[in-house]
Amino acid sequence: MDASDRPARLAVGVLGAGRVGSVLGAALANAGHRVVAASGVSDDSRRRSEKRLGVSPVSPEEVVRRSELVLATVPDDVLPDLVSGLAATGVDLAGKIFVHASGAYGLSVLDPATRAGAIPLALHPVMTFTGKDDDLTRVVGCSFGVTAPEALRPVAEALVIEMGGEPVWIAEADRALYHAALANAANHMVTLIAESSELLAGIGVEHPGRMLGPLLGAALDNVLRLGIAGLTGPVVRGDAGTVRKHVDALILAAPEAADAYVALARLTADRALAAGLLKPEAAERLLDALGGNIWT
């Protein structure tokens, strides 16, 4: 990265010093920027503000007043009102870099701040944060979904690289689909594994995680290397009888899990059929077992 592309050392303010805000603020501080202010509503956010960022919480307006780079890391549903509310207060936003870390939003959510003279950037870390001390190490090497005006692309990318991340350009129109893909993979994986762990525990498996760990590790490695060609299991084998047994067992043990199983099995069959991994006659048998139409 050319030295002229590096952002100057900036006074950073964090709006919402929660799990994400405290990590990104600390990452910017490690890169040589100065965290000068933070806001937070919950007790945990206030503690993180003082422990991780070294500042006592102040009002959002005061955060903006003290900062050259404003980092908004509030929940997605709160972000639009926060931005419009700050702009409506008349607090000086001119010339300030206004960054949000939401995956679902691009630049348009920052329009009220942009009209007031702010410089808009969307920098979303593709990582899950738990609030533990190892969160900061998770930023290193993770991708960031970056959306910015073309002229500001070098600044946006420089900030991500300084935090230890890898910038990946996402078009404004693609932000919702980008975030849906990430949430579908990561969030729903957690739900599925937790559900499977509970089912195993319910039949007496003492350490479900120990049983699932090697299997899930191999499955993740397969799909990341091979895509849908890494698929294994009864659906891709066309074992309709086994699939039907699964559905019947789940209906008795966990009806809500049965609905999810059927939906995912149909999607799996559809993908396998399209990839040529599943023969049409086997797909028909699975259709009967699943009680639905995998062709639509």
Instruction: Identify the pLDDT of residue 169.
Output: 98
Domains and CATH numbers, the chain: 3-170 (3.40.50.720), 178-290 (1.10.1040)
- pLDDT over 60 (residue 158): yes
Q: How much is the average pLDDT of 84-96?
A: 97
Q: Are strands 34-39 and 11-15 parallel, antiparallel or unpaired?
A: parallel
Give backbone dihedrals phi and psi of 70, rounded to 5 degrees, phi first. Answer: -100, 120
Contact between 157 and 167 (Cβ < 8 Å): yes
Instruction: Identify the pLDDT of residue 293.
Output: 45
Rg (CA), the chain: 23
Task: Find, among 64, 142, 144, 74, the residue nearest to 109 by Cα.
Answer: 74
Task: Find, among 8, 80, 4, 72, the residue nearest to 38 by Cα.
Answer: 72
Contact between 10 and 34 (Cβ < 8 Å): yes
Percent of the chain clearing pLDDT 70 (strictly above): 96
- pLDDT over 80 (residue 7): no
pLDDT in tens, 39-77: 988 888 888 888 889 999 999 999 999 999 999 999 999
- pLDDT over 70 (residue 109): yes
Instruction: Identify the pLDDT of residue 295.
Output: 39
- The per-residue pLDDT of the chain, averaged, comes to 93
Contact between 40 and 13 (Cβ < 8 Å): no
Measured distance between the N- and C-terminal CA atoms of the chain, rounded to whole angstroms: 48
Q: How much is the average pLDDT of 180-201?
A: 96
- pLDDT over 80 (residue 2): no
Residues 6+ apart with CB under 8 A from 20: 73, 101, 125, 129
